[in-house]
Structure 1
Amino acid sequence: MAKEELPYELNDLFPHMVKWRRHLHRYPELSFQEEKTSRFIAERLLEMGCEVREKVGGYGLVAAIKGNLPGPVIALRADMDALPIQDEKDCEYASTVKGVMHACGHDGHTAALLAVASYYQKHREGLAGERRLLFQPAEESTPGGAVSMIRDGALEGADAVYGVHLWTPLPYGQVSSKPGAFMAATDEFTIEITGLGGHGGMPHKTIDTVIIGSALVQALQTIVSRSVNPLDSAVVTIGSFHAGTANNVIAEKCELKGTIRTFNEYERERIRKRIEQMVRHTCEMHGAKYQFDLRVGYPPVVNDEREAARFMQVGEQLFGAEAVQVSDAIMVAEDFSYYLQRVPGCFMFVGAGNEEVGASYAHHHPMFNFDERAMKDAASLLIAMAENYADEAEK
């Protein structure tokens, strides 16, 4: 399977990628609800002649393309769920579903992997081993679709796994990744405080949960600065604070919601315990009651060192040395981490930002869009990574 064939064949497939992506963008579905999305993907795969296994870990699909030659089993993954965000773009493929949109590029990931399926299906005779394409549901919501797909055997017998993310902070034409810890573990927590409400003019008769909650917001910010090793990275963010109903009423209840981001399990567990200690001591000091609920999220994305080196080599071959970057670690989470806990692999960013086509908004923004040409880069990178691995395994 000569690498010089890739640009030509993917150029030919590009109009199909755009068509598939725009259909998915018009009809997005939330995590764990991707029934029509899954059916659309299955129909395209069956039209290509692929062997398709449906309802894997929910609405997930696995397309197994097996060559006539012996070789490794290489898994390639795309996610396909949307977000609870109202699409504010003015374009002909804007979301038709109120309050739901593809605001993170998963529609593009799916379209690119469909192109990969088409490519491999045409080259089955010369294929060494198996290329297993994973169309995953529910990346955006814990516990995530990766866990259930793995439980249903999606990675069984796999030798390597690769995934891409179209990334608008990175300009179109560039790609990036890094060895080791790449993306953060994430946990979410809710703190409910119950005090004693009363008249705003008689605070001495109350237990003011606004005061307690405010003290906690300030105290929790000291965890990273005073309880975490300065050489480690971590984030504790309070994203929601709700209390009170009127300007002259002292609130009886207060609710805080936040997130924890870390790169190693030691600091992750340490921060969880430290938050609960602070909540308990602060509430006891003021005579309030509390409930602390922790929702454990995804582990960190940790790229295999050897596979990250493969990315650098393959990226330079495809795009040129100047287009390949070693990324900084970022505090965004991804459930691709579960695949990497089972099988060596690499998660990679493909530049999709371009102000000229309106692709300059952040991921999860109501105006989010990406340069659609990046889908061709994503498909090229996935194929090239798989074939480089297969070539090495053959030697």
Structure 2
Amino acid sequence: MNFTLTEDQQMIKDAAENFGIKVLLPNASALDTGTQGAKSLFFDNLKKLAALGFMGLNVQSEYGGTDVGPIGFSLAITELARACASTAVTVSVTNMVAEVIQSVASQEQKQKYLPLICSGEYPAAGFCLTEPNAGSDPSAMRTRAVLENGHYMLNGSKTYITSAEFAGVFVVWAVTDPDAPKGKGISCFLVERDTPGVTVGPAEHKMGQHGSPTNPVYFDDCRIPTNALMGQLNKGLQIALGELAGGRIGIGSLALGIGQAAIEYATNYIKERKQFGQSLSEFQGLQWMLADSTTELEAARLLLMQAASTKAAGGQFSAQASMAKLFASEAANRACYTGLQLLGGNGYVKEYPLERLTRDARITTIYEGTSEIQRLIIARNLLR
């Protein structure tokens, strides 16, 4: 297996790293604490990232995308997350929405929406699947789309929608055939943010990733045209499940970036910190903690590259993506706790980044499918 990056992959990795170091990292703490002007700063950064091509990483150039493929996408998300997880998750989800549009939308829909997302005219895009009573089991959703007089009337609510208040368009799943077997009568729609009847609720107060707002989205007699339907009628759940597999590569990559940031900071810290008359880095026990975390993160990177490579080659990558997301997210959480422990009391203080990184990492074992759901997917694949 050849692990050498292509010229385009190396270029996008370097561009993400440079942007992260120069633009995101200096403001990561401000976004986390929500200081005055934080939302404007976040908005501006999304616009800058779009200008650099980060909002259409796996979108074809004819629609305004960068077209660097799944590996380039994974590399970019990792580097952005090393600097600011809040920004990285918005980039990841927006790319996921762009990919689902590219995969199943009509040519007219692609030509209309993909350039708006890739260019940053829409600063973000929303993936509206989860509901208050339909999280790990999206087939239990209650949002309805009823065909009336040549239009669909959309009613219901979605929850935990990443950066919904910045989104220009939502991909929304709704029940279109309530009499069909569970999960069989769900369809997928493209709904613009300014459509009458669409309301974005206040951002949730979260443990981490404060910079990226997470909002409920409400649909109250939202009237959408029939050409808002994306893909086949009543075949929408399959679209969601397929795209979530690709999204798991993104979240696994994000987790990897957070874990790397934690261990890199802790490594530099123990080199400079002295106790008992010597550098902390000279204590074998601490060296082993670093060695174990670094090895786990490298294993996570290889799992992510395998899943991304398989996706790029057109292979079945769902189980690989679940393995990568499961391992990377849990390894990142362990790496953050290791890093925090290496800083001692300072790791628990907001002045140092380990406190933020640890909070930011925690959600990676939950969103885009919990660790428990990933284990179910992997086991079912083995037993099939």
Whose strand fraction is larger, Structure 1's or Structure 2's?
A: 1
Q: Which has the larger radius of gyration?
A: 1
TM-score normalised by the chain length of structure 1: 0.28
The higher relative CO (CA closer than 8 Å, separation ≥ 6) is in 1
